[in-house]
Amino acid sequence: MSSSESPDVPEFGSFPFDQFIMVQSQSKTDQNPSNHIQERWDPAASISKEQQHKALVSQWLDMGRYGRNVSLRTPSVAGPDTDMSQLYYKRWELWDGTVPAHTPTNLLTDDERSANSEADRILWIRTWYGDELTDRATADASYRRLHRRAFLQDDRNPNETFVDGLLVDSSFVFDEEASDFGSNGPVQVGTTPDFVLRALTHCPDQLDGASMRSWRSDDEAAIAAIENDLEKEQVLLVLVADREACEDGWVLQVALNHQARVLPMRLRSKADRLIMEVSCWQTGADPIDVVNSSKSVEMYVGHGSGWDYD
């Protein structure tokens, strides 16, 4: 069933990222959002549809909170005759439903469109699928043990059942494709890891959400007062099931700022503690990088083995 046929799936055009991929520029004097539009999607691109989608998500993330929502502040996107104030988040309010001829409306599945508006703020990404020392079957067995320990309230109880959303909503669990999310390299501070970028192609509005927020109407003075601090503010939490997590039980917690860039402080937590720690952060506890450290640090929370129960 297509998005337009299902009442539970937000139609194409109802998310800020939808508006972003539809519009490159628009006449400042024309009040009809569908007129004089230069499409952002390039039907003649030499790269694949998936690669162009990923490239556009990368641009979207790099724009930052106010670039995505008060887009007149992004000269690289805005032209001298462009009314950017009606684009992205606000533009859909005036949008008449017309989709430019070459803009794809199926970059997200129906399930992904339904989840995209939820702004869960937590992603779980498996990055280790084996290597030259460990075959895939062994890595899968290690991952299953980790997943059970992390996602169940008490994995020692054989009757314990999985509750979706207790740790992370299943819509934001990315653990199936080694070709998409596999990565054996270290997480680099100040960058958007490729596995994070690939995950966000499935939920591109997770950084800001799709609902009205007070900061969407911030004026220039308010923006100037806090914009620099956004670089150090945690917006998303990523739980990374890398090799150390799968083999030793120490799950990597990575904080991302408003551009989906890795903040300096990272944590390693025992899998058994994750439900409690994630719940605390969701209900207002301090973010990972509460001290706003500029030094790259990976800190272990607790002692002993990562498989220990606390």
Please state the domain extents for the chain.
16-99, 122-221+228-301
The DSSP secondary structure of the chain, one letter per residue, reads --TTT-TTSPPTTSSHHHHHHH-SEEBTT---TTSSEEPSS-TT-SS-HHHHHHHHHHHHHHTHHHHHHSGGG-TTT--TTB-GGGSTTTHHHH--S---TT--S-SS-HHHHHHHTT---EEEEE-----SSS-HHHHHHHHHHHHHHHHSS-TTSTT----TTSSS-GGGEE-S-HHHH---SPPPTTS--HHHHHHHTSSTTTTT-SS--GGGG--HHHHHHHGGGGGG---EEEEEE-HHHHHHSEEEEEEE-TTSPEEEEEEEEEGGGHHHHHHHHHTTPPPTTTT---S-EEEEESSS-TT---
Whole-angstrom distance, CA of residue 117 vs CA of residue 310: 35
Is residue 266 within 8 A of residue 253, CB to CB? The reply is: yes
How confident is the model at residue 74, as a pLDDT? 39
| 275 sits in which H/E element | helix 274-282
Whole-angstrom distance, CA of residue 296 vs CA of residue 228: 19
Residue keyed to tokens 């790269």 = 47
CA 174 distance to own-chain centroid: 11
DSSP secondary-structure letter at 41? S
Per-residue pLDDT of the chain (310 residues; tens, 9 = 90+): 333 445 578 889 888 888 888 876 544 444 454 444 567 888 888 999 999 999 999 999 998 887 777 543 433 444 444 444 445 666 666 777 888 888 999 999 999 998 886 666 899 999 999 988 999 999 999 999 999 999 998 899 988 888 888 889 899 999 988 877 887 778 899 999 999 999 999 999 888 766 556 565 566 666 666 777 788 888 899 999 999 999 999 999 999 999 999 999 999 999 999 998 888 877 766 666 555 667 888 899 989 999 998 7
Whole-angstrom distance, CA of residue 79 vs CA of residue 39: 14
Closest of 120, 121, 150 to residue 237, by C-alpha = 121
Cα atoms in the 13 Å half-sphere on the side-chain side of 79: 11
How confident is the model at residue 286, as a pLDDT? 64
